């Protein structure tokens, strides 16, 4: 007897009527997004719409598409438009309407600042639900690829070479244009204008690199003076020269390898921690509540080093949420300025002073834990604090709080590259990513 198979009647399926309520259960994320957005105060967005004009799509609908899209790994406005035809959750959020990709992208670009207000509102709602109670936080950062190609970048050294080369070519073309028997097939004036436009672009790039270099020099100079002063005070206090080499003063001016990208000038070449490759990126930061894994603050910069990002990220925590009790950060954030800055803000810092060994010798566990001398360095005091039971509890939570959050954003949601260009727009898009993550996380917390 031949085996029987269950087959599909595709013609019948094309005529089938589907009730969305049957395929979207009450606890579905799409329903949660719609319900939560309906409780947000959207007046700041509505206030920017003119009183006259054509019928516009409701901001709640467009925000819902963006939030659900970013929460499920759909970031392209064209893909969001297509999803309103093909995906049941998107059809539900759009109410059966089909906003085109220009409308979705324009809404995203226009209301980036207002979305930052909504980010705060969602956190306050989480507090009112007794889900979020500000306690200990974890901070970490990650490099996200900018919407720019590394091939469109030029180094400062190469920029100077091109500038010299183009000026020589312009002079040669002027000479050619003055000759009566100019080479046929060449329009010297057009070629001069093209090179002059290129020179103008190089001049802009040169000015930006020199301005960046000056800002970085001033920061490095301040750090150098602080380090030198610290060593001098320690030498007076102990009567001995501090161990290690004396700090070297920074060198002013742009370096030959400093890069400028013509596609997204605000982005910088940064080293990717995963594949160790150098890519055109932005440095993103998040502060995560250890109890709920909700993102309570987010920032973005074009600084490759994390040290100067700790305090701005902490300062980005909405004051209405309250002050965290303690903050856990990895060794990339350790500096005297960050330790004292957190203490000044009423936050107890737990910052690693170096890489943790994978395997500690067993006999080291038998040694009693003794506090360092009062005049010991800040490094020794912090290292001791991290070895206490409380220090191990708070710092140990960093690996299972902020690191998984960044991992989910990059691996589960798939957000590895910005769609918007320029630091201000990328910063707004990063906030949208964190807002969508909080929607998804809050939905999980409420469902649980």
The predicted model scores a pTM of: 0.84
264-294 residues labelled b (16+ CB within 10 A) or e (exposed): bbbbbbbeeeeeeeebbbbbbbbbbbbebbb
- Which of 62-71, 206-215, 255-264, 300-309 is the most confident on average? 62-71
pLDDT at position 366: 45
User: What is the mean predicted confidence (pLDDT) over 95-120?
Assistant: 95
pLDDT at position 76: 95
pLDDT at position 359: 53
Say which residue, 142 or 447, is predicted with more confidence: 142
Q: Model confidence over 320-356: pLDDT tens digits?
A: 999 999 999 998 898 888 999 999 999 999 999 866 6
Structure-token pair, residue 79: 């893909």
pLDDT at position 116: 95
For residues 113 and 110, give the distance between their C-alpha atoms in angstroms, rounded to a whole number: 8
309-336 residues labelled b (16+ CB within 10 A) or e (exposed): bbbebbebbbeebeebebbbbbebbbbe
Q: How confident is the model at residue 446 (pLDDT cuts 50, 70, 90)?
A: confident
In the predicted structure, residue 361 carries a pLDDT above the cut 60: no
Residue 411 CB partners (closer than 8 Å, separation 6+):
none
Residue 106 CB partners (closer than 8 Å, separation 6+):
none
Q: Model confidence over 75-96: pLDDT tens digits?
A: 999 999 999 999 999 999 999 9
The answer to whether 314 and 342 are in contact (CB under 8 A) is: yes
The answer to whether 104 and 77 are in contact (CB under 8 A) is: yes
Q: CA dist 409 to 287, 412, 441, Å?
A: 14, 6, 11
Neighbour count for residue 406 (Cβ, 10 Å): 19
For residues 201 and 416, give the distance between their C-alpha atoms in angstroms, rounded to a whole number: 29
According to DSSP, the β-strands at 326-329 and 348-351 are parallel
Q: How confident is the model at residue 368 (pLDDT cuts 50, 70, 90)?
A: low
In 3D space, the residue among 322, 310, 299 whose CA is nearest the CA of residue 132 turns out to be 322
SS3 2: coil
In the predicted structure, residue 360 carries a pLDDT above the cut 60: no
The answer to whether 288 and 91 are in contact (CB under 8 A) is: no
In the predicted structure, residue 369 carries a pLDDT above the cut 80: no
pLDDT at position 25: 92
């Amino acid at each position: 007897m031949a085996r029987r198979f269950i087959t599909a009647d595709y013609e019948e399926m094309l005529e089938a009527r589907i009730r969305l309520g049957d395929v979207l259960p009450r606890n579905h994320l799409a329903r949660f997004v719609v319900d939560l957005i309906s409780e947000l105060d959207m007046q700041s967005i509505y206030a920017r719409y003119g009183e006259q004009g054509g019928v516009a799509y409701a901001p709640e609908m467009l925000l819902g598409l963006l939030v659900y899209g970013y929460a499920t790994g759909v970031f392209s406005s064209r893909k969001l438009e297509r999803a309103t035809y093909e995906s049941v959750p998107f059809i539900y959020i759009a109410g059966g309407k089909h906003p085109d990709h220009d409308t979705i992208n324009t809404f995203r670009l226009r209301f980036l600042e207002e979305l930052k207000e909504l980010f705060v509102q969602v956190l306050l709602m989480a507090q009112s639900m007794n889900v979020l109670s500000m306690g200990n936080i974890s901070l970490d950062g990650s490099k996200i690829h900018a919407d720019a190609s590394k091939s469109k970048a030029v180094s400062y050294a190469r920029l100077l070479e091109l500038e010299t080369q183009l000026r020589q070519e312009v002079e040669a073309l002027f000479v050619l244009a003055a000759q009566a028997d100019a080479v046929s097939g060449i329009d010297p004036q057009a070629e001069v204008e093209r090179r002059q436009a290129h020179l103008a672009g190089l001049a802009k790039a040169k000015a930006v690199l020199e301005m960046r270099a000056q800002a970085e020099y001033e920061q490095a100079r301040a750090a150098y003076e602080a380090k030198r002063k610290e060593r001098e005070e320690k030498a007076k206090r102990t009567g001995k020269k501090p161990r290690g080499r004396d700090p070297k003063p920074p060198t002013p001016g742009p370096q030959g390898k400093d890069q400028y990208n013509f596609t997204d000038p605000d982005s910088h070449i940064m080293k990717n921690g995963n594949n160790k490759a150098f890519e055109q990126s932005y440095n993103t930061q998040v502060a995560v509540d250890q109890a709920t894994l909700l993102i309570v603050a987010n920032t973005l910069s074009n600084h490759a080093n994390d040290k100067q990002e700790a305090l701005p990220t902490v300062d980005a925590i909405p004051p209405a949420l309250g002050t965290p009790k303690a903050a856990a950060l990895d060794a990339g954030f350790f500096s005297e300025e960050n330790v004292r800055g957190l203490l000044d803000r009423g936050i107890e810092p737990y910052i690693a002073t170096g890489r943790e060994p994978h395997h500690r010798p067993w006999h080291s566990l038998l040694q009693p834990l003794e506090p360092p001398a009062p005049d010991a360095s800040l490094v020794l005091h912090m290292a001791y604090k991290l070895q206490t039971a409380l220090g191990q509890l708070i710092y140990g939570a960093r690996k299972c709080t902020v690191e998984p959050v960044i991992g989910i954003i990059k691996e589960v949601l798939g957000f590895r590259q910005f769609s918007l260009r320029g630091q201000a727009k990328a910063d707004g898009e990063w906030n949208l990513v964190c807002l969508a993550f909080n929607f998804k996380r809050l939905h999980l917390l409420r469902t649980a």
